Chain A
Amino acid sequence: MIITKIASGSRFLKSFISRPLDIRFENQEAEEKIILLLRQHPIVNVPWILLVIILIFAPGVLKIVLPADILPINFQIVTVIIWYLFVFAYAFEKFVLWYYNVYIVTDERVIDVDFPSLLYRDITEAMLDRIEEINNRKGGYLRSLFDFGDVLVQTAGAIPEIRFEDVPDPEKVTHIIYDLVQAEENEDKGIKQP
């Protein structure tokens, strides 16, 4: 539990945000409220962070392993600067893609905002009244330890499934979406909410 709390990050970097007040999205209706904003669990960032740490120290290690200067000093300086530019670009791209790949649950619909790379954007959404089934899947050592997994939302629409990948607390997410779907169904039937 403590490990999960540490891994869930600071306020700005949280991957499970309930009823966020300072977040909006494109095409959000005036009356539409965000119930949940989810990102992949921060632990999925560990492999690229480790790689970046290795890449940061790589020029220094190479200098020790290969002491002979193949390049003149001016080329060495520019090479090292270019190296760190590439390392920064890699880390920045990875962070930005994690930060903006979000799953949004509102009181009207579920939305999957996906940026597979810096050049593409893919937004999938399903209205709550089109949702037929919600499942969650959690397996493996890391997923059990840090309490994250996939939530699969089956819909009756053109897009048969929306998948929330590696989100924290998938059971809680499933329950929240299920409650919202029930509330939407009751609203359609004209049953007043307590």
Chain B
Amino acid sequence: MNSTPFDQFVNFIVQLIPVFSIWWLIKLLYLAVLGLYIAFAVIVVRQLKLMSETVKASLNALLSVIAVAHLLVAILVFLLALVIL
């Protein structure tokens, strides 16, 4: 008897389970969180630019450098997670 497309899909998933362990799924979750965090860090850099254009104060340059460094660290942590997890 021919199997239905749904049966084929279920069989495919069942075959994948040993390959994709629970830790593989958790790694994906970590990478998704870090991906979102990078997006947040980009927003912080852009927003800080807008803030420093609105009020030109003495700490503008320092805060902008911190925001960019924060974005770079977020990218590095993403890459680290990609490698070591």
Q: Known contacts A26-B54, A78-B77, A89-B70: does B43 contact A118 (CB below 8 Å)?
A: yes
* A113 close to B85 (CB less than 8 A): no
B contacts, CB < 8 Å to A: 23, 26, 30, 33-34, 37, 40-41, 43-44, 47-48, 50-51, 53-59, 63, 66-67, 70, 73-74, 77, 80-81, 84-85
* A12 close to B59 (CB less than 8 A): yes
Name A78's closest neighbour in chain B (CB-CB). Answer: B81
* B43 close to A78 (CB less than 8 A): no
* B51 close to A100 (CB less than 8 A): yes
Q: Which of A72, A85, A113, A123 has the most CB of B within 10 A?
A: A85
Q: How far is the CB of B55 from chain A (nearest CB, A)?
A: 5
Q: Known contacts A93-B44, A96-B63, A118-B43: does B26 contact A75 (CB below 8 Å)?
A: yes
Does any Cβ of B come within 8 Å of A130's Cβ? no
* A77 close to B43 (CB less than 8 A): no
* A78 close to B85 (CB less than 8 A): yes
**B-chain residues with CB within 8 Å of residue A89 when the two chains form the complex:** 37, 40-41, 44, 70
Does any Cβ of B come within 8 Å of A29's Cβ? no
Q: Known contacts A75-B85, A78-B30: does B47 contact A113 (CB below 8 Å)?
A: no
Q: How far is the CA of A77 from the CA of B34 in the complex (A)?
A: 14
**A-chain residues with CB within 8 Å of residue B70 when the two chains form the complex:** 88-89, 92
**B-chain residues with CB within 8 Å of residue A99 when the two chains form the complex:** 57, 59, 63
A contacts, CB < 8 Å to B: 12, 22-26, 72, 74-75, 77-78, 81-82, 85-86, 88-89, 92-93, 96, 99-100, 102, 113, 115, 118-119, 121, 123
* B80 close to A81 (CB less than 8 A): yes
**A-chain residues with CB within 8 Å of residue B54 when the two chains form the complex:** 25-26, 100, 113, 121, 123
Q: How far is the CA of A96 from the CA of B64 in the complex (A)?
A: 10
Name B51's closest neighbour in chain A (CB-CB). Answer: A100
Q: How far is the CA of A115 from the CA of B81 in the complex (A)?
A: 33
Q: How far is the CB of A34 from chain B (nearest CB, A)?
A: 10
Q: How far is the CB of A89 from chain B (nearest CB, A)?
A: 7
* A115 close to B43 (CB less than 8 A): no
14 inter-chain pairs at a CB distance below 8 angstroms, sorted by A residue, are: A12-B58, A23-B57, A72-B23, A75-B26, A77-B84, A82-B33, A85-B73, A85-B74, A86-B37, A92-B70, A100-B57, A113-B55, A118-B43, A121-B50
